[in-house]
Amino acid sequence: MMAMIEAVHNFIQAVENQEHILPLIQQADLQGNIVANEQAIQLMFKSGVISVQEPTPDGMTQFEISGSQDALLLLFEGKERLRVLEQNDSLKVNASLRTALWLESVFYLTRSDYFLAKII
């Protein structure tokens, strides 16, 4: 689970470092659970800020992404698209189509910074 939390924090930092992504998340007001191996974290997108917290039992989430830690790492590191991971049964996505496409866009657009950081 620690590797996933680290990957989430790296993702958040990558988003913050890429100004072209900020308009995409500026108007966002979403929260959802990321679940791996029966452990969950809550990812929140609100007014241009992405944060991580313990899941709340109130059920006020707009999405849930669950699967193996390896598949979630591929997603957060930008190595594979959300819908591809869902289609090959690596991840289960419970969200509206609009939310799923928005999440995929954010993850996909963030990946270039991750790969550039590895090169530099």
pLDDT tens digits, 32-62: 999 998 889 999 999 989 999 888 777 789 9
Range of the domain at 74: 2-112
Residue 17 lies in a domain: yes
> How much is the pLDDT for 1?
67
The stretch 73-101 carries a mean pLDDT of: 94
CB 50 within 8 A of CB 87: no
Cβ count within 10 A of residue 106: 19
pLDDT class for 88, splitting at 50, 70, 90? very high
What are the E-state strand segments in 7-101? 29-36, 39-46, 49-53, 63-67, 91-95
> For 21-25, 33-37, 88-92, which range has the lowest pLDDT when averaged over its residues?
21-25
Q: Identify the helix (H) or strand (E) that includes residue 19.
A: none
Tell me whether residue 118 is in a domain. no
Q: How many structural domains does the chain have?
A: 1
Answer whether residue 7 shows pLDDT above 70.
yes
pLDDT at 111: 73
Strand order in the sheet with 49-53: 49-53, 39-46, 29-36, 63-67, 91-95
User: For residue 80, is it within any domain?
Assistant: yes
